[in-house]
């Protein structure tokens, strides 16, 4: 067999595995964004107070924290693949549960279950991709996870808009079977938010089926002493010589590792741990979820009706998706640092201008939409994807799951705070000062990367570990 044919087979295998793993990101994005279309209807139907509204949004985030709390260590013990399959099951049960919830309490519990699935996927999917990807394209492949998140967000916006349009244009669904007709009328006409949430059963089922055909992480297998299986997978991805070099490097580093949480606080890993905490913290306080969760409310308060507000969200989602492609294109060429520095500065400026639009009453003009799109563009090629790329490559293999758990736990705790804080800030200090607060957080994010984060493009995961030893 020619080397060209082998290379094509390796590329196909790698792309197929990456696409399946990134389905976790698609579900992550869908679950996160679908709430923007659901929220106005749930708030009205259950007469939610501001506190209850914040709790409904944040309930899934509490589930995320639960998922993160156990999935990091379990992925180190049981493997990456098993945890991804668990997340798919949780997504499926949650989507079905929210669609048929009988009361607000059951709805919140079902959302928490979905959030647990998101928490598991948010750690294990980028971790798995980083461990299976060749060094020269690792940044690109991990960034595909963020692209999948933005795709999930866009799908949620599109389906929310389409389902709302269907609900408004059809008074009922006429079928011969009265019981089926009643259920479909409830889901798609009377309480359309149920179908918005319930559509998650489709991608979650596809995710679970796809996972049945992907292998375990080769680095995890080698770390567990399953050398033959690990080598077999590595040789499907890279040529035999490079695979042999990686196996030697993995074995060498594995001997040095203890594999406990205590090791994360060793002097050599304090700096990567700080980076792994600060980047996801600032990513959530960048204002991205204020736009995702409360976009329709913000646009509605600016004088745009709910149907057009959801359409505006589709535009925002499309911008988020398209500009993530820039990160995929450039992350392994320009590197992590330049993209992050440029993007965080751009996010700072665009959020400042967004606040200025609200302060001076320019909310019913194209200026507000442009400033939010510019923010989404900057976030999409820097702050959004690079927190996953960097966090997934700066820690040793044996404790990478635990380290990612701390990193992603920080992200979800910050996300929960933002979910609760945003409606309070919007109601108390107003949208102008709310966006200026987020702008200041983006500036802090820029400073953190400029001062602390080394360039890791083109380095193997084992070479990245040596950076901290050298320092």
Model confidence over 281-301: pLDDT tens digits?
988 898 887 776 556 556 665
Whether the Cβ atoms of residue 55 and residue 107 lie closer than 8 Å to each other: no
Q: Using one digit for the tens of pLDDT, what is the confidence trace for 182-234?
A: 778 777 888 888 999 999 999 999 999 999 999 998 888 888 888 888 888 88
pLDDT for 305: 54
What pLDDT sits at residue 212?
93
pLDDT mean across residues, the chain? 81
Query: Closest Cα to residue 297, out of 26, 54, 30?
Result: 54
Tens digit of each residue's pLDDT (9 = 90 or more) over 120-135: 998 899 889 888 888 7
pLDDT per residue as tens digits for the range 301-348: 556 555 555 566 677 777 778 888 877 787 778 878 888 899 999 999
Rounded Cα distance between 123 and 144, Å, is: 15
What are 298's two structure tokens?
């913000």
Which pLDDT value is given to residue 300?
62
**What pLDDT was estimated at residue 258?**
47
| pLDDT at residue 1 in the model | 46
CA dist list (Å): 434 to 68, 135, 285, 290, 363: 28, 40, 11, 9, 15
Integer angstrom CA distances of residue 395 from 223, 263, 359? 14, 11, 44
Which of 269-278, 310-319, 385-394, 443-452 shows the lowest per-residue confidence on average (mean pLDDT)?
310-319
The residue-averaged pLDDT of 156-171 equals: 83
């Amino acid at each position: 067999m020619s080397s060209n044919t082998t290379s094509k087979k390796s590329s196909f295998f790698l792309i197929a595995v990456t696409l399946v793993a990134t389905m976790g990101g698609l579900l992550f994005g869908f679950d996160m964004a679908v709430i923007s279309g659901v929220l106005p209807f749930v708030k009205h139907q259950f007469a939610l107070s501001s506190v209850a509204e914040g709790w409904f949004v944040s309930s899934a985030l509490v589930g995320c924290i639960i998922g993160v709390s156990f999935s990091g260590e379990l992925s180190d013990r049981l493997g990456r693949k098993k945890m991804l399959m668990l997340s798919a099951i949780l997504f499926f049960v949650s989507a079905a549960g929210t669609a048929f919830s009988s009361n607000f309490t059951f709805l919140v519990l079902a959302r928490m279950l979905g959030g647990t699935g998101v928490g598991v996927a948010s750690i294990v999917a980028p971790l798995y991709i980083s461990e299976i990807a060749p060094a020269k394209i690792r940044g690109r492949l991990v960034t595909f996870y963020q692209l999948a998140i933005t795709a999930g967000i866009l799908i949620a916006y599109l389906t929310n808009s389409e389902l709302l349009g269907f609900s408004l244009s059809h008074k009922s669904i006429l079928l011969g079977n009265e019981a089926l007709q009643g259920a479909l009328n409830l889901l798609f006409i009377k309480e359309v938010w149920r179908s918005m949430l319930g559509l998650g059963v489709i991608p979650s089922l596809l995710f679970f089926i796809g996972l049945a055909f992907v292998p375990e992480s080769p680095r995890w297998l080698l770390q567990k002493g399953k050398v033959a299986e690990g080598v077999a997978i590595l040789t499907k991805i890279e040529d035999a010589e490079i695979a042999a070099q990686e196996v030697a490097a993995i074995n060498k580093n594995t001997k040095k590792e203890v594999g406990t949480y205590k090791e994360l606080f060793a002097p050599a890993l304090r700096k990567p741990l700080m980076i792994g905490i600060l980047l996801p913290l600032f990513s959530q306080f960048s204002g991205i979820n204020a736009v995702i969760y409360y976009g329709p409310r913000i646009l509605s308060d600016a004088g745009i009706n709910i149907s057009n507000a959801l359409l505006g969200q589709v535009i925002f989602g499309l911008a988020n998706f398209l500009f993530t492609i820039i990160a995929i294109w450039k992350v392994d060429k320009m590197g992590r640092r330049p993209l992050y520095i440029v993007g965080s500065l751009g996010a700072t400026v665009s959020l400042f201008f967004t606040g200025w639009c609200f302060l001076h009453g320019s909310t019913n003009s194209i200026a507000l939409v442009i400033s939010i799109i510019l923010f989404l563009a900057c976030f999409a090629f820097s702050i959004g994807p690079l927190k996953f790329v960097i966090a997934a490559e700066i820690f040793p293999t044996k404790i990478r799951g635990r380290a990612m758990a701390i990193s992603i736990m920080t992200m979800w705790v910050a996300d929960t705070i933002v979910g609760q804080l945003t409606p309070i800030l919007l109601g108390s200090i107003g949208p102008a000062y709310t966006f200026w607060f987020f702008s200041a957080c983006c500036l802090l994010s820029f400073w953190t990367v400029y001062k602390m984060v080394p360039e890791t493009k083109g380095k193997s995961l084992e070479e990245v570990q040596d950076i901290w030893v050298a320092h």
